[in-house]
Structure 1
Amino acid sequence: MEISENAALIVVDVQKGFDAEEVWGRRNNPAAEENIAAVIDAWQTAGRPVVFVRHDSADLDCGPLRPGFWGNDFKDLVEQRRGKGSGPELLVTKTVNSAFYGEPDLDAWLKGAGVRQIVIVGIQTNMCNETTARMGGNLGYDVIFPLDAMHTFDLAEGPFGWTATAEELSRATAVSLHGGGFAKVVTTAELLG
């Protein structure tokens, strides 16, 4: 796999609030955090750009992610790595799914740095990660999506009484993004190999 020298890593919403199982329910991929940490370490060691994205929710349904609440903070694996790389780093805050609708303007920052390739890791696979990947693809970025460096949760609130497990949602996201040409879906080992 060819990774450009200035490929930017976008670390989406790795926040403590997502540890609240009573809010989100059952999750998949217990190795997500380990893989996220490995990707951040590799990017920082290589001096590549890293973008940390934080969801500052105004929605009561995402209560733990609201500013001023314990769950808004980054998980320790992210907080311990912020500011440690030799490459450029950016903090983006957002109130919607896409990191491209945050502050400061992610697209402008990436284009200003000449970045054409992005790698997306974080939480949740089928929500903010997928939305960011779709927008990135639409904006012309070469998007890489290491599926095992993210996780999501079961959903029981679909239309027509439908439900989907976290595994089903992750698979649907992977097929849709990869098959639709929005992103190249890979594993962490493939990305770092």
Structure 2
Amino acid sequence: MTRALIVIDMQRAFDDLDFWGATTNPDCERNVAALIERWQDADEPIVVVRHDSTSVHSPLHPDNAGNELMDAVAAVDPALFVTKNVNSAFYGDPDLQVWLETQAIRELVICGIQTNMCVETTARMAGNLGYDVTVALDATRTFDLRADVAGLGIVTRTASELMATTALDLQAGGFAQIATTAALIGENRT
């Protein structure tokens, strides 16, 4: 057992487009479910990560229904279940890195929500920690962003632009390889 699937923040709150805004990649959930099925069939470990916001106004706060995992992920009996309240799964409870080291896992496949936030941050940290990281880009999704940035004014990016930028940053920066779900589930692992 040398690789794990890390499923990040697949929570019901992310279906609330009135709160988050426009999204992209409607196949994300289907692709995450396909990866989960592949990992279960191969009896490989799955790590489920849930974001527990500390803000009572967030739909991701533990007291809100949006904190619940989506059905395909809620049905998983994970090898490890991590809760966090920051962007990286490596700053959660229990300690992801300690568990990975204990299990001698060096290869990570990461999927989930949001591509350019928690998925990217976790992938960057994993790469910096020396793991062999692959992000299943089509098993992620994110939302349009708009912010007033000092020195730049109003900056906007679509969800599709953010996904492409994340893929470029991760792969060109040497943090992770980018793959499709089809390529990952089609692998012949022995």
TM-score by length of 1: 0.92
Structure 2: 5+ residue stretches without partners: none
Aligned equivalent of 2:132: 142
3-state DSSP of counterpart to 1:103: coil
1:143 deviates by 0.3
For residues 148 and 115 of structure 1, what CA distance do their matches in structure 2 show?
A: 23
Aligned equivalent of 1:184: 177
Deviation track 1:20-75 (CA, whole Å, cap 9, x = no partner) reads: 111100100000000000001100111111100000001356x1100121001101
1:79 deviates by 1.0
For residues 33 and 52 of structure 1, what CA distance do their matches in structure 2 show?
A: 14
**In the alignment, is residue 66 of structure 1 matched against residue 56 of structure 2?**
no
Amino acid at match of 1:21: L
For residues 149 and 189 of structure 1, what CA distance do their matches in structure 2 show?
A: 10
For residues 56 and 177 of structure 2, what CA distance do their matches in structure 1 show?
A: 34
Deviation track 1:102-126 (CA, whole Å, cap 9, x = no partner) reads: 0000000001000000000000000
For residues 60 and 161 of structure 1, what CA distance do their matches in structure 2 show?
A: 28
Q: Could you tell me which of 61, 68, 79 is aligned with 1:89?
A: 79
**In the alignment, is residue 127 of structure 1 matched against residue 117 of structure 2?**
yes
Aligned equivalent of 1:164: 157
**In the alignment, is residue 8 of structure 1 matched against residue 1 of structure 2?**
no
Which has more helix, going by share of residues?
1
Aligned equivalent of 1:78: 73
Deviation track 1:120-158 (CA, whole Å, cap 9, x = no partner) reads: 000000000000000000000000011000100000115
Change (3 A) 1:163 1:143: same
Aligned equivalent of 1:18: 14
3-state DSSP of counterpart to 2:23: coil
TM-score by length of 2: 0.94
For residues 2 and 11 of structure 2, what CA distance do their matches in structure 1 show?
A: 26
3-state DSSP of counterpart to 2:47: strand
3-state DSSP of counterpart to 1:109: helix
Structure 1 residue ranges, 4+ long, deviating more than 2 angstroms after superposition = none
Identity among equivalent positions (%) equals 54
3-state DSSP of counterpart to 1:178: helix
